[in-house]
Every structure is written in C-alpha cells, then in structure tokens.
Chain A
Amino acid sequence: MVNLTIDGKQITVSKSATIYEAAREAGIDIPVLCYAKKLLPYGACRVCLVEVEQMKGRLIPSCTTPVTEGMIVRTMSDEIRKVRKTVLEFLLVNHVVDCPVCDKGGECDLQDLTYEYEVVTNRFAGEKFDLEKDEVNPLIERNMNRCVLCGKCVRVCDEIVAYGSYSFINRGFETKIATAFDRGLDCEFCGQCVSMCPVGALLPRPFKFKARPWQLKEVDSVCGYCGNGCTVTLGVLNNKVETIRFNDKIGVNDGNLCVRGRFGSSYVNSGERLTKPLVKRDGQLVEADWDEALAVISAGLKKAQDGKGVGVISGARLTNEELFLVKNLASVIGTANLDHSGGECYKGVTEGLKQTLGVTASTGTFPQVEEADVILSIRSDFYETHPVFGMTVNQAVKRREAQLFIVGDKNGKFDKLPGAKTLLHKPGLEVNVLNALCQELIASGKAVTDGVNGLDALTQALAAYTPEKVAALTGVSAELIRAAAAALAGAKRSAILLAYGLPYTAQSREIAIAAANLALLSGNVGKEGSGLYLCGEKANSQGAIDLGVLPGPGGMGAQQMLTAAGKGELSALYIVGEDIVSSYPDRDKALKALAGADFVVVHDLFMTPTAALADVVLPAASFAEKDGTFTNAERRIQKVRAGISSPGEAKTDGAILAQVIACLGSSVSYTGPAALFAAVAESAGYTGIAYDQIGPQGVVWGGESLTVKHKNLIAVAGAEPVAGDYVLLTGSALHHSGTVSTRATGPNAVVSEGYVEFGSEDAKALKLREGDQVALKANGVELKLKAKIGKRLPKGVLFAPYHFSSAQINTLYKGEAAVAVQVVR
C-alpha cells in the first residue's frame, strides 16, 4: 500500500493504483475523456492533468501516473483550470459542435466539460473536417467529425473484444480512427465501441432520435439470451424498451455486452407479439378471452389425464419462480413427464457430472477465469455461445497471459489470441481428445490422484487413448496433446470450460465425464481459484437444472415424450416458451408429436411454428416484462426486473401457470416475491439465500468455489470419425441465441437468414462464392441454403447455425455430432 495526499486528504491505496484511481477512491473527481476503468491507461486526452508537489514544473496526467509514497497531489488550481480549458479549446478546433442533433447530447463528456470549463470562445482556428458518416451497417453510426481521438473504441475492440476493427490511421492533423482500408464498419457489432465513446462519434443507430437520455427510465435487469447473465439496463420511454444503456457499475459483465444483449432486445416491442389467447376452433386458431382459453385448457388436460397422460416441456428462459410453477403444474397434473430444453444435452452433461463430481454446476465463478493461468475451452465455438464470457477469456489471455487451449472442431476466434493453441479435431471426437489428455497425465506421472476413485479402471480403459493413437484418429498432434496436458497439470489456477445447448447433444454425457476426469487428474478440482465451468445456452439453463425441471421417477424426458406423442401414446403436451419445431433436433419428430398429441398448449411471445400447431396458444411476457430471478452459468442468482408492461392481454408465464393450476383445482399463493423465492430456494437447494439478499451483484449459491461431493473417475469411450467428403456441424452463431433473436431487428440486421458456412479451401474446390445457393443432401432430405465463406472451418467440415426456423437445419440434424452430407451446387 502507498500513502499519499490528494487535495489535502490523506489516502492509502494499492501501489498499482494511478493518481486518478486513488482520487476516485477518495471521492475526488478528476475529469477524463480517454480513461475507462476496464481499459489499460492511455493518456491521450490530457484533461486529467494535475499538479504533483514532487514533480513541479509540469502538469502530470493523473490517469497514467502511478502513485508513489508521500506524493502530494492537487487536482485543481488556476493553472490546471487554464490548461484543461486550453485542451478543450484544442479539441473543439475541428469538432463539428452539432450538439442539437447529436444523440449524445445530455451525456456527452465533451459537452459537459465544455460547459463546466466555460469554453465560450476559442483562441485557435482550424479546419473543420467534413468526413462522410459511416452508415453502411444498420447498427452503429460512425461520425468521425465528432471524434476526439481518445482511442477508447480502438482499445476496447482490441483489449476486450479481441476483434480489432479500428485503428488510428494517417498522422498529424489528418489522424482519424478508421477500419482497415477506411471502409464501412463490418464486424461483430457488439457495440462495445459505442458504449465506450465519450462523445457522439459512435452511436447506436436503432436508437437515433428516439429520446434524450434524461427522458429514459433506466431499469437494471438481466439479459434474457445466454447463460452468462449480463446486466442489461433497459432504457424505457412510453412503455417501450428504446435502447440498452451502458452500465458497468453492477453485475458480472463490467458493462460488456454482445450484439444480442445490446441490439437484440427489440423483439419485445415487435408488432408481431401475441396479445390475446388463441383457441383452435374448426381447425383455426381464433382469438378468445382468458376465461374461455383456461376452460378449454382445463377440459383438455383433464381429458388427457384420463387418457394417455400429459407431458410438460419448458424452455430455459423462464425465471426460477416460473420454472418452479412449471414443476408445480406437472405435479398438479400428476405427471412425471417433465423436461426442458430438448432434454438431451443438459441431461447428458448433468448426469455425467453427477456421477463424477456429484455436482451439476460450475465449480468456480467468472472472475476466477480472469485470474486463471491455463484455460482449456472445450468446443471451439464457445465464443459464439457465450460471447461476453469469451471476452472474459480474452482478457485473461491478453492481460494476464493465460495459456489458452481449445479442444474444437473449428478454428474459432479464441484461436487468434496470443499463444492460443487449438487442438483441432475431426467433428465429434472431443471425448477422444479429452481421454488422450487424461491418458497423458496418468502416463507421465503428472496426474493428481489423491482421493480419487476408479483410477485403475480408468488407466486400463485409457490404454487405447495414447496421444499417438488419438492423434492418428482425430488429427490433433500428439505433441500438442502432451503440451496441453503438461500445462494443465502445471497450472496454479486452471479453468476448464464446457458449453452446452440444444444443438450440442451428441456424446454430451461422455464429454462431461471426460472433462470431469480431466479436471480431477489435472488437479483443477478443489484447487483454489480453479474451476470447471458448465455454461448453459439459455439465460436460466442453470436454474432449470437446480430446480429439477426434469423427468420425475418413471417419467419421460423431452425426446421420449415427443416419440410417445408421435405414436399416439401421450395425449397432451404442455409447452412453455419453447419452439420445439424450430429448435429441437429432428424437426420431423417434433411435428409428428404435435400432430399425434390430442391436445397441445403453448405459451409463447410469437406465433411460432410450434404455436401454430397448438390447440391453445397463450400470449406470454418477455424478460423485459417480468420480475423474478435467473441463475447464470456461474451459479449467480440475479434479479430480473420488469421495465415495461406486456402488450395487450399477454401475461407472464408465472401468472399464466398460476391461473392454469387454479383451474385444475389446486392453487399457488405466495404473499409476495420474497415468499415465492423462499419456496424456489428450498426446491433448488439455494440454502440460506433470501430474496432481499440478492443485491446488484446477485448471490452465488454454493460459494465462490463449489465443493464437489466425490471424485469418481469414470471411463468413457470416444467416437469414430463421421465418414463422408463433407460433414455438417450445427450450433450457435455469434449474432443469435435460440430462436427468439431471429425476431429482433438488431441481430437480424447482421445475419437475417440461415446459411451454410464453408472453409476457404472447400469453397475454392467447389468454386463457391459468398451468397451462392447450394443444396445439402442427406437422408433423403435436400436443403437449399446460401453459402458463406470463412476461414475457420477445416477442409470437409461445414457449419450451419440452428437458429433460423425457415432454414430447417433440424430436418438434417437429429442430435448427432455431425451429419455426412452431399453438397450440390
């Protein structure tokens, strides 16, 4: 620690602090333009100049100068005021000063400082730039005439996003910030640069001329897309979510968001939202009032109870409270047929972890990943499933020089991080590679085996997985397998990351077990700061697992329910917030199930292909319209808050479920959110956590490091490579999440339809160009898709995202790791 004096105040701060940080900690305000808490110090703008007694004769930039013992700092004097004013005059020489039409007005740092320092005249005259606005993309407007060259956009895009869209180009007066070759922005569109810009040079286009900042009501909630659980602050005006506001003060994400979180909320305002209950009459869904719809449901479910039974399928974007009521509904109906999210992937993963470690959640928290010195990410497209978690990994690698290994079937963005090594394997062979890592740890004597069970059996089973053998089968070099195993074993703190979700069902139990074996043998389990991270696809995937929205004793899981319904062996399906036709593996099976069940109820926001086939469709509320809690992938329980009311007669799934339960002759009544959460906490095992305790940072159940119940090593077999000239992978694409994002204008503006991605080598061989139509043929199905050409896919491997219902990828994808396809031009 270091002691210093700022404006006469005695302050003790960490020796790594800068003067600016020390002052802020002491509540002393120093103006800044180029400083941002999450970026490295830069010192570009010179408005944070201060006087330091020991460094007399010049002013010192407080944002880049580290504190030293006994330092005496003054943050304001006539001299400082004069110099800061001069700096502002310089900045205003070529600034356009078009504040009346600038969306930043009211929250512009330059405008505020100009006002505060009363810069009413300018002693300097110079050329104003008349640079063309970049409006090529639909999400981010760049007006470089307003730029103050603070470089925050350049830095955030490099340091945190690791995309590198921007650079300073030219020099001297002509210096400006531009993309490569000074073209229109064409990037991931996460909008991190927009959130960092201190002026109106970078603005969210969808928000242009919608509202002045002070008109907006700000509501802190949690993003409804993936399991990362980012804080999103809804900017609400007239019961409409107009924008997502920057907020780095609370939550897990430091104000970082991805394209979905920042630009993907517009679906809540969509004119296509369902606003009234719909009941099928004479084969047509027609509007009905709630009483009528509930009466039909009650009759339909009762009939099914007496018939061949009811199955309840839920999505994983419901709040914990709502999932609890889904469970309640199943018990009131008296069925053990209960499941969520396709039923396969999370099930395999949780079963695998239960057997090996006895827990079904991440053992560490996200901040620990940032401190890890070795990170192993399983599945290359981890970045695309949880982009902001990807940014956490970026920072660990770029700032703290963590060694990153990726076990993946494609070269993702992680592969480009400094020193990152991809163990690039043929599709579907994750387990083989993980087994080889375990084998190497045991064979080299580096394995940590204290307190583990089953070592001998595993050692025996892994004899077939020597690095050489696995290298020959998977294409990963034996040397790289050895290097990764050695790095993991030698790590002080390691993080093993595993993403799961609807499009990743194959071998999920085996992958989870192999990952857990690796975690045990590499000493990751139980080591302070190390963790195995299980990242669910949806906002409340973890909550659904914690609450046990799973088949009861003797009950059917989602896939079994669909099979049974398709054969006429299940009378009714009650589906809450899932578009099973569009998103589940095997579309045909889902369609048959919906046709085969006598009675189908669907809650949804939109008339999805699943809802269209239901007997009753109930209009549900979006995440922006409900209160409750989500549990994210690091076990953090956070509050979701309603910012707007639902359109028309739409209601939250919770309210609907309570009514349906009442109709069935039972009742749920809690005196308020705290009482309801208490019931949830009891059911989910969130012991000792009360609703009121859940503050801005949420509460992590099980503590920062979750203690495993046992350490069982279990042998699991790898797979054989999929034969075929071309194999198709499906999965998540960066810009989308599930199917609901395809209703949001932001993500759609970037990627609006399904596609099939080819590696450049295959594209060349097939003479394909971006946008060409190709047909994929397999199992008697032919799919026509637009071709996209990228550099990340190895030869013979194709990728098609699963989000787009109209692309019908799930007519080909039935849950396997990869599908052999024929490509026809």
Chain B
Amino acid sequence: MSEAVAEVQEEEIDLAGANAILDKYLDMHGALMPVLQAIQEHYGFVPEPCVHLVAERLNVYTSQIYGVLTFYAQFHLEPRGKYIVRVCMGTACHVKGAGRIAETIKERIGVGHAETTEDLKFTAEYVACIGACGMAPVIMVNEDTFGSLTVQKVDEVIAKYQKMD
C-alpha cells in the first residue's frame, strides 16, 4: 500500500475520532482489539484510513491489522446500514421457511447477505442460529427481534423501518 493512496483517502474522512480513541489506548498493552472495536463503534465500520492511522500510532503492521479485521466476523470494512437485518438461517428457522423470508427481504430492500443498500439504510445478514428457535422463523433488526414470521409480517416489519429515518 503506497503511502500516497492513504494520504488521499485521509482527506475524505475525519480522523479526529480515531485519534481520540488512540490517545486513550496508546499505553495499553494489546490495545489493538479494543481500539478497532471503539473505532467501529464510532464510525459504524472500520474505515481504511483509520487502519493506516492505527498501524502508525500503535506501530503494528497494516497487514496484521487487516488479518485481525478479516478473522473476526464482528469487524466491518465497509459502511453498514443504519438497520442491520439479521435473518436467522439456523436449523429450526430453515425448516420453518427462512429461505422464503430471506428472499422476501431481498425483494423489499434490494440487497442480500452481507450487502448494504446504497442509501446506507439497510444491511442484510444471513446468520446461523440466533438462539430463538421457539420463535422460528425469526429475524432481528438491530436489537429488536421479530418471530413467527410470515411473508406478510416481514413486509410489515420492513415497511415500518423504511418509514423511519
């Protein structure tokens, strides 16, 4: 990665947040994970210029940080939607028609697994069991859970969020 490219991107994003986070963790041993988590919390994802900044300030190779970011499912390198729609694909939901639920959601919001709508409103994620088999088929939108879904119910849920900001 040439430094020049990083330079260009740095201008497009305000690094003040990342710098403030780094200030706090600078002297901590093994600070990489909490720093990356805090950055994701702050920006909603881990922007590339932040990765270069973290590499420089914590003196960790950029490649190594990228290794950590791709190892853990919790980190996202692309901007994510305001509403994360998690569609459970666990065994119980699968039997109860999770496939159709996922299809419907894709039709309504226009994106499938690990994709984000252009307006950054929705991100869809097909996940393994979310631990609510009794409510199968089930989805989560951010922290809210919607169970015993039908195609019609899913429409209602999505419509509700589409109307929200």
* Chain A interface (Cβ < 8 Å from any Cβ of B): 158, 163-171, 178-183, 186, 416, 418, 760, 763, 769-771, 789-791
In the complex, whether B62 has a CB less than 8 A from a CB of chain A is: yes
Nearest neighbor of B52 in chain A, beta-carbon distance = A180
The answer for the CA separation of A182 and B77 in the assembled complex, in Å, is: 12
In the complex, whether B41 has a CB less than 8 A from a CB of chain A is: no
Nearest neighbor of B10 in chain A, beta-carbon distance = A760
| B67–A168 CB distance below 8 A | yes
Identify which of residues 45-99 in chain B touch chain A, using a CB-to-CB cut-off of 8 Å.
48, 51, 55-56, 59, 61-67, 70-71
Q: Looking at the assembled complex, report how far the CB atom of B80 sits from the nearest CB atom of chain A, in whole angstroms.
A: 18
The answer for the CA separation of A52 and B63 in the assembled complex, in Å, is: 38
| A789–B61 CB distance below 8 A | no
Interface segment out of the listed B1-9, B18-26, B103-111? B1-9
Scoring B51, B64, B65 by chain A CB atoms within 10 A of each residue's CB, the highest score goes to: B64
| B3–A180 CB distance below 8 A | no
A167, A416, A789, A791: which contacts B67 (Cβ < 8 A)?
A: A167
With a cutoff of 8 Å between Cβ atoms, the chain A residues found around residue B56 in the complex are: 791
| Given A169-B71, A181-B48, CB of A789 within 8 Å of CB of B3 | yes
| Interface SS of B by simple majority | helix
| A186–B1 CB distance below 8 A | yes
With a cutoff of 8 Å between Cβ atoms, the chain A residues found around residue B59 in the complex are: 416, 418
Q: What would be 18 A-B contacts, judged by CB atoms less than 8 Å apart?
A: A158-B61, A164-B64, A165-B61, A166-B63, A167-B61, A167-B66, A168-B71, A180-B51, A180-B65, A181-B51, A182-B66, A416-B59, A418-B59, A760-B3, A769-B7, A770-B2, A789-B3, A791-B56
The answer for the CA separation of A790 and B56 in the assembled complex, in Å, is: 13
Ordered nearest first, which 7 A-B pairs have the shortest CB separation?
A164-B61, A167-B67, A770-B4, A180-B62, A167-B63, A180-B63, A169-B70
Q: Looking at the assembled complex, report how far the CB atom of A811 sits from the nearest CB atom of chain B, in whole angstroms.
A: 27
| A791–B3 CB distance below 8 A | yes
The answer for the CA separation of A499 and B61 in the assembled complex, in Å, is: 27
Nearest neighbor of A162 in chain B, beta-carbon distance = B61
The answer for the CA separation of A619 and B39 in the assembled complex, in Å, is: 62
The answer for the CA separation of A769 and B3 in the assembled complex, in Å, is: 11
| B61–A790 CB distance below 8 A | no
Nearest neighbor of A789 in chain B, beta-carbon distance = B4
With a cutoff of 8 Å between Cβ atoms, the chain A residues found around residue B1 in the complex are: 179-181, 183, 186
With a cutoff of 8 Å between Cβ atoms, the chain A residues found around residue B2 in the complex are: 186, 770
| B66–A790 CB distance below 8 A | no
| A181–B4 CB distance below 8 A | no
With a cutoff of 8 Å between Cβ atoms, the chain B residues found around residue A171 in the complex are: 70-71
B3, B7, B66: which contacts A178 (Cβ < 8 A)?
A: B66
Interface residues contributed by chain B, number (CB under 8 Å): 20
The answer for the CA separation of A145 and B79 in the assembled complex, in Å, is: 30
Nearest neighbor of A792 in chain B, beta-carbon distance = B3
The answer for the CA separation of A149 and B63 in the assembled complex, in Å, is: 16
The answer for the CA separation of A791 and B55 in the assembled complex, in Å, is: 13
| A790–B3 CB distance below 8 A | yes
With a cutoff of 8 Å between Cβ atoms, the chain B residues found around residue A183 in the complex are: 1
With a cutoff of 8 Å between Cβ atoms, the chain A residues found around residue B7 in the complex are: 760, 763, 769-770, 789
B8, B64, B71: which contacts A170 (Cβ < 8 A)?
A: B71
Nearest neighbor of B72 in chain A, beta-carbon distance = A171
Nearest neighbor of B69 in chain A, beta-carbon distance = A169
Nearest neighbor of A166 in chain B, beta-carbon distance = B63
Q: Looking at the assembled complex, report how far the CB atom of A171 sits from the nearest CB atom of chain B, in whole angstroms.
A: 5
B4, B8, B67: which contacts A169 (Cβ < 8 A)?
A: B67
Residue interface bits B120-154, CB-to-A below 8 A is 1, else 0 = 00000000000000000000000000000000000
With a cutoff of 8 Å between Cβ atoms, the chain B residues found around residue A165 in the complex are: 61, 63
| A180–B70 CB distance below 8 A | no
The answer for the CA separation of A345 and B55 in the assembled complex, in Å, is: 37
With a cutoff of 8 Å between Cβ atoms, the chain A residues found around residue B70 in the complex are: 169-171
With a cutoff of 8 Å between Cβ atoms, the chain A residues found around residue B64 in the complex are: 164, 167
Q: Looking at the assembled complex, report how far the CB atom of B39 sits from the nearest CB atom of chain A, in whole angstroms.
A: 16
The answer for the CA separation of A763 and B2 in the assembled complex, in Å, is: 15
Nearest neighbor of A420 in chain B, beta-carbon distance = B59
The answer for the CA separation of A181 and B56 in the assembled complex, in Å, is: 16
The answer for the CA separation of A662 and B91 in the assembled complex, in Å, is: 93
With a cutoff of 8 Å between Cβ atoms, the chain A residues found around residue B4 in the complex are: 769-771, 789
With a cutoff of 8 Å between Cβ atoms, the chain B residues found around residue A164 in the complex are: 61-64
With a cutoff of 8 Å between Cβ atoms, the chain B residues found around residue A168 in the complex are: 67, 71
| Given A170-B70, A171-B71, CB of A179 within 8 Å of CB of B3 | no
Nearest neighbor of A175 in chain B, beta-carbon distance = B71
The answer for the CA separation of A769 and B6 in the assembled complex, in Å, is: 11
The answer for the CA separation of A805 and B65 in the assembled complex, in Å, is: 40
With a cutoff of 8 Å between Cβ atoms, the chain B residues found around residue A180 in the complex are: 1, 51, 55, 61-63, 65-66
With a cutoff of 8 Å between Cβ atoms, the chain A residues found around residue B67 in the complex are: 167-169
With a cutoff of 8 Å between Cβ atoms, the chain A residues found around residue B48 in the complex are: 181
B8, B51, B63: which contacts A179 (Cβ < 8 A)?
A: B63
Nearest neighbor of A787 in chain B, beta-carbon distance = B4
The answer for the CA separation of A519 and B136 in the assembled complex, in Å, is: 76
Nearest neighbor of B73 in chain A, beta-carbon distance = A171
With a cutoff of 8 Å between Cβ atoms, the chain B residues found around residue A791 in the complex are: 3, 56
Kindly list 18 other residue pairs between chains A and B, CB separation below 8 angstroms, not including A181-B1, A418-B59, A763-B7.
Answer: A158-B61, A163-B61, A164-B62, A164-B63, A165-B63, A167-B64, A167-B66, A167-B67, A169-B67, A170-B70, A170-B71, A179-B66, A180-B63, A180-B65, A181-B51, A183-B1, A186-B2, A760-B3
